[in-house]
A and B are shown apart, each in its own frame.
Chain A
């Protein structure tokens, strides 16, 4: 209980204009119109970074990571199959929006359907399994991930098998709005996806922030600290966990809908494999389990490295040593090594994550004597 007590100690709030979150948000809002980083890099090295486009992917990944954080960070359920719900969202979007099927709800319909279907799947899987102890639940979710992947691959009558469902239409936006946007409307797909992802991300952060201090948030803390005691206090652990599991699954489904719409295809089912789940989990833990800012940072660091920074580095190296045939002189051959070392070193020096939440940190140190 010391944890919650310290977390509640009053602190003079910083004025709004001193908060870096505000500036980050501002930058994100104007970035698609004024991609200054891209321009700077392009001016210096002649390389095209296209960070604006990558940001959409990163934000979608962040939404997925927040979903996982709800399950692992808040509810303490070790989930190794988040990609399954992501896939369910993506393929639901495919089914309700491609021409082949009679539904054709379009994007706005699919972002309602995808979370519902994924959420129901989460509920069905979670109902009999959330009571399992940590690692048994881990293997059940891992197994579910494989089952979903194999089934989507094999049911080609519905999912088009390895080809995936496409083309998934761009979001429909009112013509008046499109006219008002002028030039920007020419890039309607990218701009719409960018802002939908941004708005969803902000909404999720807001909801989770509020939740942390609500009844539900306190319930999660109690559960993580002592399940038995919290049950004695009248909390229903199974119900609370199941709710977190299902809602997390629904959010992952939502992210899947955004992912598929952004790519305009569901891509092949193998995209959503165990590896994918593991990487999302790494982002969450690297950032700081249960910490909103941490999770966002974790995604930012790992995914930016993987899909933005490493191509740039590769190019610089190719320029430096020339296109070499030596297996050791190509960065691509070192990618896994660098990625792995990054994970190891981060955990070595920041075992609670890069930016842990104060509350989780306090919880973790309770009993070992340190309330750092």
Chain B
């Protein structure tokens, strides 16, 4: 009860501080509005706080150590609904680390699985992603950052990591403008690389390719009209928009471009509307997590006929499980970047066998991406040969695979994968079945 009074004598001090703050705010508020011109800047790259041991290393630092302990970390949403997909990614990452027995050259490499989701959001949380980026930059042993899962999260951590020269490899970001100039806003992707150097790479093809390829495939299968749905997320909307654009360019009739509420229980009303228009193909830009399974299910439930096409966010067993094999069979078509693992020969086949042995299940698309993202980091460390972030990032740009779990690929100057093979798959007897290779011509 007397607690209340504690504030009494403190308040003059507080009042003074309050007044001070107000003065400061007013003073600054009165300045000409040049604020907008200030360069952006999470400054995390300058770890100059006293006591911090990290020193910014510059490329070519001859004194960089060539042995010691290095860390690869991943920042993926591990709490909440994305957990299913990120678990398979993490499995892939662990396999890549196990493959090399935790050793690269003179270095020992350990892996840490960081969560960029919080219990309070139940999904990726911008604050946590920003915190992870800061932590990674602050820990001098971290030399590679595998992530993120969500492109929105990448927008937050990319500039921070880029300034520190820290290598970032994403197993899942597909938003085109993260790397490709001219595909998004004017400031993209420059805003994500404040140092001017490329430190971000992705092993998945961006949406601009996948959406286009999907539309072409739909046309080849004889579609005259399409109905485009998306989940109003960065990924789903992006890929659906490209699909719609390409479909229009190809002369297909696009009935609608409509977002759904990915948390809704069911979509029978929506599908009834779709059924009335009788499109040849319904495209859904979304993932298992954003209810693609339920859409397929209700599409069938209202008695609609026609094909249903989805992007690689649904290329996983969990999607068929969610949609119900009986609904998805022979009706659902999935595009995927790269050749499906089971069609691979050489290293790809080895990967599939090893994965099956270790986890008792066929690897999902995401597992392959996670595995390859980590491989890129490992190859970069090997090539750089020293504990120097900038050097490792530079080395990553030159990483090249003649044969891998994703086939042959290297990186474009923007950090995109050169892998231009997309595959078209269909659900048959409760499994994905490879149909054809797709290309953007």
**Residues of A near any B CB (own CB < 8 A):** 6-7, 9, 11, 13-16, 19, 21-22, 32-35, 39, 46-50, 52-54, 57, 97, 99-100, 104-109, 111-112, 150, 153-154, 160-164, 166-167, 169-174, 183, 186-190, 199-200, 202-203, 205-207, 209-210, 212, 262-265, 267-268, 270-271, 273, 275-276, 279, 292-293, 302-303, 306-307, 310-311, 314-315, 318, 323, 325, 330, 332-333, 335-336, 338-339, 355, 357-359, 361-362
Whether B3 pairs with A357 at a CB distance below 8 angstroms is yes
Whether B259 pairs with A154 at a CB distance below 8 angstroms is yes
In chain B, what residue has the closest Cβ to A200?
B21
Whether B120 pairs with A323 at a CB distance below 8 angstroms is no
Complex-state Cα separation, A270 to B7, whole angstroms: 38
Whether A311 pairs with B114 at a CB distance below 8 angstroms is yes
Whether B131 pairs with A50 at a CB distance below 8 angstroms is yes
By a CB distance below 8 angstroms, the chain B residues around A332 are 78-79, 83, 115
By a CB distance below 8 angstroms, the chain A residues around B114 are 311
By a CB distance below 8 angstroms, the chain A residues around B25 are 108, 111
**Those of B1-48 within 8 Å (CB) of chain A:** 1-11, 13-15, 17-18, 20-22, 24-25, 28-29, 31, 33-44, 46, 48
In chain B, what residue has the closest Cβ to A111?
B25
Question: Within the complex, what minimum Cβ distance (angstroms) separates B364 from chain A?
Answer: 14
- Asked whether any CB of chain A lies closer than 8 Å to the CB of B122, the reply is yes
Complex-state Cα separation, A30 to B192, whole angstroms: 31
Whether B37 pairs with A169 at a CB distance below 8 angstroms is yes
Given contacts A199-B17, A310-B119, contact A263 B40 (CB under 8 A): no
User: What number of B residues sit within 8 Å (CB to CB) of A?
Assistant: 85
Q: Contact check: which of A7, A54, A161 meets B237 at CB < 8 Å?
A: A161
Given contacts A34-B50, A307-B118, contact A190 B18 (CB under 8 A): no
Whether B42 pairs with A315 at a CB distance below 8 angstroms is no
| 9 residue pairs from A and B, CB less than 8 Å apart | A9-B1, A16-B13, A19-B10, A57-B127, A108-B31, A173-B28, A267-B156, A275-B120, A358-B4
Complex-state Cα separation, A183 to B130, whole angstroms: 22
Complex-state Cα separation, A179 to B123, whole angstroms: 41
**Those of B288-315 within 8 Å (CB) of chain A:** none
- Chain A CB count within 10 A is highest, among B4, B41, B125, B359, for B4
In chain A, what residue has the closest Cβ to B69?
A46
- Asked whether any CB of chain A lies closer than 8 Å to the CB of B185, the reply is yes
Whether B43 pairs with A186 at a CB distance below 8 angstroms is yes
Whether A189 pairs with B131 at a CB distance below 8 angstroms is no
Given contacts A164-B152, A172-B31, A203-B22, contact A362 B1 (CB under 8 A): yes
Given contacts A50-B131, A161-B232, A265-B156, contact A7 B1 (CB under 8 A): yes
Whether B48 pairs with A7 at a CB distance below 8 angstroms is no
By a CB distance below 8 angstroms, the chain B residues around A49 are 135
Complex-state Cα separation, A336 to B141, whole angstroms: 31
Whether B51 pairs with A167 at a CB distance below 8 angstroms is no
Question: Within the complex, what minimum Cβ distance (angstroms) separates A77 from chain B?
Answer: 22
By a CB distance below 8 angstroms, the chain A residues around B15 are 206, 210
Whether A104 pairs with B10 at a CB distance below 8 angstroms is no
Complex-state Cα separation, A344 to B392, whole angstroms: 48
Question: Within the complex, what minimum Cβ distance (angstroms) separates A254 from chain B?
Answer: 11
- Asked whether any CB of chain A lies closer than 8 Å to the CB of B191, the reply is yes
Complex-state Cα separation, A173 to B125, whole angstroms: 29
- Asked whether any CB of chain A lies closer than 8 Å to the CB of B155, the reply is yes
Question: Within the complex, what minimum Cβ distance (angstroms) separates B138 from chain A?
Answer: 4
Whether A11 pairs with B5 at a CB distance below 8 angstroms is yes
Given contacts A34-B50, A206-B11, contact A361 B35 (CB under 8 A): no
Kindly list 8 other residue pairs between chains A and B, CB separation below 8 angstroms, not including A108-B35, A174-B28, A307-B125: A172-B35, A183-B48, A187-B46, A203-B21, A270-B233, A306-B120, A311-B128, A332-B79
By a CB distance below 8 angstroms, the chain B residues around A39 are 51
Whether B29 pairs with A50 at a CB distance below 8 angstroms is no
Whether B232 pairs with A314 at a CB distance below 8 angstroms is no
Whether B120 pairs with A22 at a CB distance below 8 angstroms is no
Given contacts A161-B232, A199-B20, contact A16 B4 (CB under 8 A): no
By a CB distance below 8 angstroms, the chain B residues around A362 are 1
Whether B20 pairs with A172 at a CB distance below 8 angstroms is no
Complex-state Cα separation, A131 to B38, whole angstroms: 46
Q: Contact check: which of B43, B79, B120, B175 meets A187 at CB < 8 Å?
A: B43
Whether B29 pairs with A109 at a CB distance below 8 angstroms is yes
Question: Within the complex, what minimum Cβ distance (angstroms) separates B78 from chain A?
Answer: 4
